[in-house]
Amino acid sequence: MLDFFVKKGQATIDFVSSLGRSGIFLIRAIFGLSFSLKSLSGLIKQIYYVGVLSLVIIVISGLFIGMVLGLQGYSILIDYGSEQAIGQMVALTLVRELGPVVAALLFAGRAGSALTAEIGLMKATEQLSSMEMMGVDPIKRVIAPRLWAGFISLPLLAAIFSAVGIFGGLLVGVDWLGVYEGSFWANMQQSVDFQEDVLNGMIKAIVFGLVCTWIAVYQGYDSIPTSEGISIATTKTVVYSSLSVLGLDFILTAVMFSSI
Amino acid sequence: MYSRYIEAVVGVFIIVGFIALGFLAIQVSGLSMDSQKETYRIYAQFDDLGGLSVRGQVSVAGVTVGKVSAISLDKKAYRALVEMEIYKSVDNLSIDTVASIQTAGLLGEKFVGLSVGGDPDVLADGDTIFDTQSALNLEKLIGAFASSRSSL
């Protein structure tokens, strides 16, 4: 009986201290980016791996999600004879919710897991500790550029996702189902507000970018340096990122849009 | 050589991202349209807004001339006070203009329609329109129709 409580207490202390460790890790990594030419070229390389290589999946998913929104929206709105509102529906859904959230979920699967595996393997092959031995701080050299790359990439990816999705909705709504293009854009422009909708969506994407990359690099850095440990860490990255994106999305939506 | 290629691709990625953001700002939210035009404010009091909301259109003869910028309750008269921003280019709304709340289509958005009168004096910044018509309340109308039918 006592043993049970000891185990539970130990697990709680482990959890809290791991949370604290990840917090300290985040602060060190954020302020660890030095603005020398060399480290900036490292950052650019990471943006390439994290952002540019995620473009294909983001663009294709965005297009299809926009098309599905157009199709579903049309079949519902036509019942009320207000199929012109399809532009408004597609744009608001994408800009406020689906753009940041789906981009972040795809990003966690596509880039986050790769980051965890890469850093975990670096740890397993003792590259990180040999860096430390050479007097190079691995957090500055390895973690900081990756964290910043994710932080910069995800808002851009979310904006691209929304824009492509709106074109998907345009393709289905206007070109295939025959909604008048003028009212498609006019309805959209009248109802979407730049500050209220677009900027709040971007703030969401920035928060998600930070959280997803933070979880990814921390799980990699804190993984058990065996092949099994890396596989556990990669799974944890995707699960934790997805859950925290969805949970945070609810909180941010409640804060941003509850007054409307 | 390889790193130059990566730099160029990343540059393109960032540019595309900002183009997407610009597209969302200008084409989707119509940002430049609103902010470019200078406006002046006029007020109107209504008995019943019937679902008019902030950012609703204000139009003369169907042409948009401004938008609803704020809605509040006049505590003394218990009437709705609507603040409207009208484009500076439309500066000849006569002082006896009638403001009415209208509906685009049967179930569409509510908007404020202004019908201009013939008075030579014009509305200036901060003026109030007193001659107003409230929203057509479909439920009340149906209720009145039903009760008048039953009394026949």
Residue A70, pLDDT score: 92
With beta carbons under 8 A apart, name residues in chain A contacting B57: 190
Provide the 3-class DSSP secondary structure of residue A187.
helix
The complex's ipTM works out to: 0.77
Q: Do A157 and B106 touch (CB under 8 A)?
A: no
In this structure, what token pair is assigned to residue B24? 């969302």
pTM of the model: 0.77
The pLDDT of residue A39 is above 80: no
The pLDDT of residue B49 is above 70: yes
CB-based contact, A156 to chain B, within 8 Å: yes
Angle at B129 between CA B123 and CA B135, to 5 degrees: 135
Tell me the Cα Rg of chain B: 23
> DSSP letter at A82?
-
d(Cα A187, Cα A70) in Å, to the nearest integer? 14
Residue A235, pLDDT score: 93
Q: Which of B34, B14, B38 is nearest to B26 (CA)?
A: B34
CB-based contact, B105 to chain A, within 8 Å: yes
Do residues A37 and B3 make contact, with C-beta atoms less than 8 angstroms apart?
no
The residue-averaged pLDDT of A67-81 equals: 89
CB-based contact, A155 to chain B, within 8 Å: yes
The pLDDT of residue B108 is above 60: yes
CA distances from A198 to A8, A69, A204, A207 (A): 45, 18, 10, 14
CA distances from B48 to A79, A131, B6, B101 (A): 29, 72, 61, 9
Residue B107, pLDDT score: 65
CB-based contact, A159 to chain B, within 8 Å: yes
pLDDT digits (tens, 9 = 90+) for A167-196: 999 999 888 988 888 888 888 887 888 888
Residue A260, pLDDT score: 52
3-state secondary structure chain B: CHHHHHHHHHHHHHHHHHHHHHHHHHHHCCHHHHHHCCEEEEEEEECCCCCCCCCCEEEECCEEEEEEEEEEEECCCCEEEEEEEEECCCCCCECCCEEEEEECCCCCCEEEEEECCCCCCECCCCEEECCEECCCCHHHHHHHHHHHHHHC
Taking residue A133's Cβ as centre, other Cβ atoms within 10 Å add up to 9
Residue B36, pLDDT score: 56
Mutate to test the interface with B, among A37, A44, A78, A197 (most CBs of B within 10 A): A44
Listed in sequence order, the DSSP H helices in A222-258 are 227-257
The owner of tokens 């009986």 is A1
Cβ-based neighbours of A81, under 8 Å, separated by 6 or more:
B105, B106, B107
Q: Do B20 and A45 touch (CB under 8 A)?
A: no
Could you tell me which residues are beta bridge partners of residue B110?
B103
CB nearest A193 (choices: B7, B20, B55): B55
Position B32 confidence tier, pLDDT thresholds 50, 70, 90? low
Cβ-based neighbours of A79, under 8 Å, separated by 6 or more:
none
Do residues A48 and B6 make contact, with C-beta atoms less than 8 angstroms apart?
yes
Q: Do B24 and A163 touch (CB under 8 A)?
A: yes
CB-based contact, A57 to chain B, within 8 Å: no
- Considering chain B, what is the average pLDDT of its residues? 82
Do residues A223 and A233 make contact, with C-beta atoms less than 8 angstroms apart?
yes
d(Cα B17, Cα B15) in Å, to the nearest integer? 5
Q: Kindly report the nearest CA distance between residue B37 and chain A, in angstroms.
A: 15
Q: Dihedral sign, CA of A148, A149, A152, A154?
A: negative
